[in-house]
A and B are shown apart, each in its own frame.
Chain A
Amino acid sequence: MQDIRNYMKMTISGQSKNEALARMCVSAFAAQLDPTIEEISDIKAAVSEAVTNCIVHAYPDKIGDIFIELKIIGEDTIYIKIKDKGIGIPDVKKAMEPLFTTSPETERAGLGFAVMESFMDRLSVRSKEGSGTTVIMTKRLNGRYEQTDK
C-alpha cells in the first residue's frame, strides 16, 4: 500500500505555452517537501520533457488534453504521472534509447527520456498505439513532508 500524504490532479490543454505552467504547478506542489534548488530544477526538467512529448508527439495535428497527477508518498517522495490520449509509442524500449527521435527535422535531440531517467529516481513508461502514453516518475527528496492538521 502506498502511504499517500497529499495529492493533486489536473488536466491542462496541450498548448506549448502551458509547458511553463505545468512546471510551475509541479514545483509548487513539490515545495511542501522542502526540496533543494537542484532537486526542484531536476523535477522541472523532467516534467517539461514529459509534457513537451505530449504536445509534440502524442498530438501531432491537434491540441489534446494532458492529465497530470501528483502525490506525496511517505515523508519524502514525490510521484508524478503525466498521461495523454494521443497516438502512442509503437516501441517504447527503442523510444527510450538516448538520441532516438522520430522528429529530427523539428530539432528534437532525442534526449527527453534520458533526462527523465537521469534526473528522477524511477521512470516507467506505458504506451499503446492509438490510445496514448502514461509516464510515471518518482523522486525521493532530502527535505521532508511536514505533517499538517486534519
Chain B
Amino acid sequence: MSVQLKNSGDILIAFLSGEIDHHAAAEMRFFIDGELERSMPKLIVFDFSGVEFMDSSGIGLVLGRIRVISGWGGKAAIENPRPLIRKMLSLAGLQKLIR
C-alpha cells in the first residue's frame, strides 16, 4: 500500500508514496476515507515526500478529501512536494496549501 497513516487525535498525516495516477488513486482514496470518517480530525496533512509521479488524478484525490473533511469544518495542508508535484498543484491553484 502506498499510503501510511499517522493519527494524532486532531491531525491525520497521510504519507503518500510511489506514483499517483487514476489507477493508484482509487485505492488511496478508499484507505484515507476510512480513517478520515472514523477519526474526524481537524486537519489532514498530505506528505508528498515519497511521491515520484502524479497526474491530475492526484489533484482529484486531494480535492475529494478536502470535500470530505470540510463536512465537519476540517482543513487540509500539503508538505514536501517535489518540483513536478508542485507544478501540478500550482496548475490546480492548490499551492496555497503547501507549508
Contact = CB atoms under 8 A, between A and B. Distances in A.
A115 B22 contact: no
Contacts of B57: 52, 107, 109
**Residue of A23, A49, A109 most packed against chain B (CB within 10 A):** A109
B14 to A, nearest CB: 16
Contacts, number: 65
B97 to A, nearest CB: 14
Chain B binding site: helix, strand, loop or mixed by DSSP?
helix
What is the interface residue range for chain B against chain A?
Answer: 20 to 34
Contact of B55 (A16, A38, A115): A115
Interface string A15-33: 0110110010000000000
A53 to B, nearest CB: 9
Given A17-B23, A109-B60, A52 B84 contact: no
B29 A109 contact: no
Given A23-B53, A41-B84, A109-B59, A114 B22 contact: no
B88 A107 contact: no
A112 B29 CA distance: 19
Contacts of A23: 21, 53
Interface string B1-28: 0000000000000000001011101100
A114 B63 CA distance: 17
5 contacts: A19-B22, A19-B23, A38-B84, A52-B57, A107-B64
Interface of A: 16-17, 19-20, 23, 38, 41-42, 44-45, 48-49, 52, 55-56, 107-109, 111-112, 114-115, 118-119
| Pairs A-B, 9 closest by C-beta atoms | A16-B23, A107-B60, A111-B56, A48-B55, A41-B84, A107-B64, A109-B59, A52-B22, A109-B60
